[in-house]
């Protein structure tokens, strides 16, 4: 087998090239190849300096993550980097694309660094539940100072090359072609002793600043261990000799490698990439995607428009009348202004978008040239069918027609057209220009290239797309409805909604369910209950307290009061809530009882996992990992727990099934174990076994 690392010489410069697509990760073959190439360079007397460069789209993007969790294989990356740093002739790292994790650590072990102006570099290990394990904690502070280095490794921020130059992380920006510029730099260093990062003085400790940073990390990332461990390891190591510091780093890295958080975060990383690999669209090219038409300019339609505009697409937004069009245009302008003020968009680019790429219209004919039409109107089957019949009349042949419904039957919507092959669901999450999740809902007759176009759109918008089957609520909202029912039942039986929120944010959710309700508006849940009232089973439990709050005009944030009172800053629990709950329970003849935080979490998670198992079993989600990606990106599930299915595997499916059976003793209508869960427990399998080896 040929090595992914080669050595060649140009004049008196030795050229070491890594070529390991797609991202030049330092798997075992690259590590072994680097040792061999370093030896060849050292032995080549005609070479007086070297250049280390990468083929393909990027410099080394890190260690090979797919090797994590398996027995490590020599040579180890810290030793490879040490061997390069120990060379007697200077080596220049020539960086393009992204130098991340072990990739940046490799560059810091070289004796000089030059980068293409577009390159970015960073230490993102904490996002995988790790800390830099190949010298990053010891070399980066020596190059750029203690606090900038700690900030970089705890935030995982990608530093643009010009800023890296100012920080002293790199020595030069390439002027022109990178290889030539790197060789020119190496020429200036030829014959000189190599400058080794390890020999630079370690920066002084600053306990007040590091304590403040750790306190901030504990506050902003509750429950996560990698960030604070990285600070401790870096500072402890810097107080020692370089070699002792490296030993401290190694021990910290290996300890985190064994942590459940590392397993969860790496599962999330691979799951987010696996969702795009659908057998149904393998090798199917998407349709053209330049012009987008959006029907409906409310907050959702405007958010989708902004998301498309920021991705460089041309957008026409259709409203019913001129007043509606003007209002929608104002919303789009506001959202773009927000992007400018947050530094995400340059003002001249915003002006160009508004002048050239965006327009409103009131006549369907304006959508005739769109490649993709996205409907974002009122959630009513009749209204949506009318819209689709109208789109069918004007859309060009081959245009993809998408509905943004969050629960309606997309097959019925497709039937309103003469071209059901072109119809899919694109379920965006609000605010659409911020939230990363996109459920691509696949009705029965959708053509593979229409589905592929949904996935291509997500990639273009930098969102993660997950395929979902047609059912009420698709993947996410269906699971949400189920665990909402579980928390509402606890509140009916005596739990305090505020304590429920506290227990679930303690578990790691970004927000508790009642704070979320206040944010969305209590009218949303009320309307949903009204809509479903006719189909309600007599044993379904109705959150009468939520109806009563709504009836009293408490709609949450928008009215100033819901479960919390927003007149106070920060908001406090609504002081009238305990009496309201007491009255509702008395009316229903319920005797309240207590629920501690563990019980609240156990019931919520059991309900979520049980419904998720049904969602997988009936094919609404393709695999358990698709559920995890939905809940991580659309519902605030803590990433460091990997998603509900990964969490369930780690927690033990048998324990969850036991819980469900225990809860069923009180309510065997709601707590019916999903057959898939029962089967997995009976056969000693896990959800991960159903991921077909597509996630770590």
Q: Considering the complex, state which of residue 66 and residue 118 has its C-beta at the smaller distance from ligand 3H9.
A: 66
The verdict on 124 binding ligand 3H9 (CB under 6 A) reads: yes
In Å, how far from its chain's centre is CA 134?
A: 25
Q: Which of 7, 9, 4, 56 is nearest to 183 (CA)?
A: 9
Give CA–CA dist 363/391, Å, rounded.
11
Cα distances (Å, whole numbers) of residue 498 to 513, 566, 636: 9, 14, 18
Give CA–CA dist 94/62, Å, rounded.
15
The verdict on 100 binding ligand 3H9 (CB under 6 A) reads: yes
* Of positions 7, 16, 64, 546, contacts ligand 3H9 by CB under 6 A: 64
* Of positions 15, 96, 125, 138, contacts ligand 3H9 by CB under 6 A: 125
Residues binding ligand 3H9: number (CB under 6 A): 24
Task: Find the part of the chain contacting ligand 3H9 (CB under 6 A) among 19-27, 205-213, 464-472, 662-670.
Answer: 19-27
- Residues contacting 169, CB < 8 A, separation 6+: 108, 113, 121, 140, 143, 144, 159
* Of positions 50, 62, 293, 638, contacts ligand 3H9 by CB under 6 A: 62
The verdict on 101 binding ligand 3H9 (CB under 6 A) reads: yes
Reduce the secondary structure of 243-259 to three states and give it as a string. Answer: HHHHHHHHHHHHHHHCC
Q: Considering the complex, state which of residue 79 and residue 668 has its C-beta at the smaller distance from ligand 3H9.
A: 79
CB 654, CB 687: distance < 8 Å:
no
Q: Considering the complex, state which of residue 126 and residue 313 has its C-beta at the smaller distance from ligand 3H9.
A: 126
* Of positions 24, 98, 138, 331, contacts ligand 3H9 by CB under 6 A: 98
> Which residues lie across from 401 on neighbouring strands?
373, 423
Q: Give me the torsion for CA of 51, 56, 60, 65, rounded to 10°.
A: -150
Task: Find the part of the chain contacting ligand 3H9 (CB under 6 A) among 58-66, 375-383, 551-559, 659-667.
Answer: 58-66
Task: Report 126-155 residues binding ligand 3H9 (CB under 6 A).
Answer: 128, 130, 132-134, 136
DSSP states along 518-583:
HHH-HHHHHHHHHHHGGG--TTSPP-HHHHHHHHTT--BGGGTBSSEETTSSS-EE-TTHHHHHHH
- Residues contacting 541, CB < 8 A, separation 6+: 485, 488, 489, 492, 667, 670
* Of positions 13, 23, 116, 367, contacts ligand 3H9 by CB under 6 A: 23
The verdict on 102 binding ligand 3H9 (CB under 6 A) reads: yes
Task: Find the part of the chain contacting ligand 3H9 (CB under 6 A) among 61-69, 168-176, 391-399, 562-570.
Answer: 61-69
* Of positions 39, 273, 393, 685, contacts ligand 3H9 by CB under 6 A: 273
Three-state DSSP at 58 gives coil
Give CA–CA dist 339/334, Å, rounded.
9
Which active-site residues does the annotation give?
Answer: 105, 125
Task: Report 25-54 residues binding ligand 3H9 (CB under 6 A).
Answer: 25
Task: Report 482-521 residues binding ligand 3H9 (CB under 6 A).
Answer: none
Smallest gap from residue 571 Cβ to ligand 3H9 (A): 36
* Of positions 54, 65, 437, 577, contacts ligand 3H9 by CB under 6 A: 65
Three-state DSSP at 156 gives coil
Smallest gap from residue 625 Cβ to ligand 3H9 (A): 12
Angle at 268 (CA atoms; ends 646, 619), nearest 5 degrees: 60
Cα distances (Å, whole numbers) of residue 259 to 238, 254, 265, 476: 24, 9, 10, 28
Q: Considering the complex, state which of residue 517 and residue 695 has its C-beta at the smaller distance from ligand 3H9.
A: 695
Binding mask 232-271 for ligand 3H9 (x = CB under 6 A): ----------------------------------------
Q: Which residues here bind ligand 3H9, judged by CB under 6 A? A: 22-23, 25, 61-66, 77, 98, 100-102, 105, 124-125, 128, 130, 132-134, 136, 273
């Amino acid at each position: 087998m040929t090595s992914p690392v080669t050595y060649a010489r140009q004049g008196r410069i030795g050229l070491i090239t890594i070529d390991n697509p797609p991202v030049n990760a330092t798997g075992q073959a690259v590590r072994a190849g680097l040792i061999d190439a370093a030896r060849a360079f050292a032995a080549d007397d005609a070479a007086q300096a070297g250049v280390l460069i990468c083929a393909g789209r990027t410099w080394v993007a890190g260690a090979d993550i797919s090797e994590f969790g398996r027995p490590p294989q020599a040579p180890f990356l810290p030793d490879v980097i040490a061997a390069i740093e120990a060379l007697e002739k200077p080596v220049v790292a020539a960086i393009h694309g992204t130098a991340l994790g072990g990739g940046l650590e490799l560059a810091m072990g070289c004796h000089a660094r030059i980068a293409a102006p577009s390159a970015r570099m960073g230490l993102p290990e904490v996002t995988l539940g790790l800390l830099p394990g190949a010298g990053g904690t010891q070399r980066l502070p020596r190059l750029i100072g203690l606090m900038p280095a700690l900030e970089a490794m705890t935030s995982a921020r990608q530093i643009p090359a010009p800023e890296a130059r100012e920080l002293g992380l790199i020595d030069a920006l390439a002027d022109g072609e990178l290889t030539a510029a790197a060789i020119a730099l190496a020429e200036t260093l030829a014959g000189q002793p190599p400058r080794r990062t390890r020999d630079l003085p370690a920066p002084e400790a600053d306990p007040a600043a590091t304590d403040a940073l750790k306190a901030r990390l504990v506050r902003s990332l509750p429950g996560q261990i990698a960030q604070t461990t990285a600070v401790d390891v870096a500072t402890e190591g810097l107080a020692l000799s370089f070699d002792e510091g490296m030993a401290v780093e190694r021990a910290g890295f290996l300890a985190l490698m064994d942590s459940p958080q590392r397993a969860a975060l790496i599962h999330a990383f691979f799951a987010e990439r696996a969702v795009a690999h659908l057998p149904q669209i393998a090798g199917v090219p998407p349709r053209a995607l330049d012009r987008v038409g959006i029907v409906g300019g409310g907050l959702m339609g405007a958010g989708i428009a902004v998301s498309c505009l920021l991705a460089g697409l041309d957008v026409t937004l259709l409203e019913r009348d001129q007043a509606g069009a003007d209002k929608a245009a104002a919303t789009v302008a506001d959202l773009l202004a927000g992007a400018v003020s947050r530094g995400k968009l340059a003002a001249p680019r915003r002006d160009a978008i508004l002048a050239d790429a965006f327009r409103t219209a009131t006549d369907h004919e304006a959508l005739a040239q769109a490649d993709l039409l996205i409907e974002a109107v009122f959630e009513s089957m009749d209204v949506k069918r009318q819209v689709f019949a109208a789109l069918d009349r004007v859309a060009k042949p081959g245009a993809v027609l998408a509905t943004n419904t969050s629960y309606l039957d997309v097959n019925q919507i497709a039937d309103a057209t003469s071209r059901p092959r072109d119809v899919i669901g694109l379920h965006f999450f609000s605010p659409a220009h911020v939230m990363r999740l996109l459920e691509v809902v696949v009705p029965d007759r959708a053509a593979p290239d229409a589905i592929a176009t949904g996935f291509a759109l997500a990639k273009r918008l930098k969102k993660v797309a997950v395929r979902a089957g047609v059912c009420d609520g698709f993947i996410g909202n269906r699971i949400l409805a189920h665990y909402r029912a579980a928390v509402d039942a606890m509140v009916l039986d005596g739990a305090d909604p505020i304590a429920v929120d506290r227990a679930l944010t303690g578990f790691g959710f970004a927000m508790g369910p009642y704070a979320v309700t206040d944010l969305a508006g209590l009218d949303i849940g009320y309307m949903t209950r009204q809509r479903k009232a006719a189909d309600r089973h007599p044993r379904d439990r109705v959150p009468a307290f939520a109806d009563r709050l709504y009836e009293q005009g408490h709609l949450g944030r928008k009215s100033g009061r819901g479960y919390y009172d927003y007149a106070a800053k920060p908001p406090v629990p609504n002081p009238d809530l305990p009496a309201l709950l007491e009255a509702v329970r008395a009316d229903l003849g319920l005797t309240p009882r207590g629920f501690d935080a563990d019980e609240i979490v156990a019931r919520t998670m059991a309900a979520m996992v049980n419904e998720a198992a049904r969602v997988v079993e009936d094919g609404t989600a393709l695999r358990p990992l698709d559920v995890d990606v939905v809940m991580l990106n659309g519902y605030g599930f803590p990433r460091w727990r990997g998603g509900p299915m990964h969490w369930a595997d780690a927690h033990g499916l048998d324990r969850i099934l036991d819980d469900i059976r225990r809860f069923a003793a009180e309510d065997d209508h709601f707590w019916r174990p999903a057959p898939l869960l029962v089967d997995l427990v009976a056969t000693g399998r896990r959800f991960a076994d159903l991921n077909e080896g597509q996630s770590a």
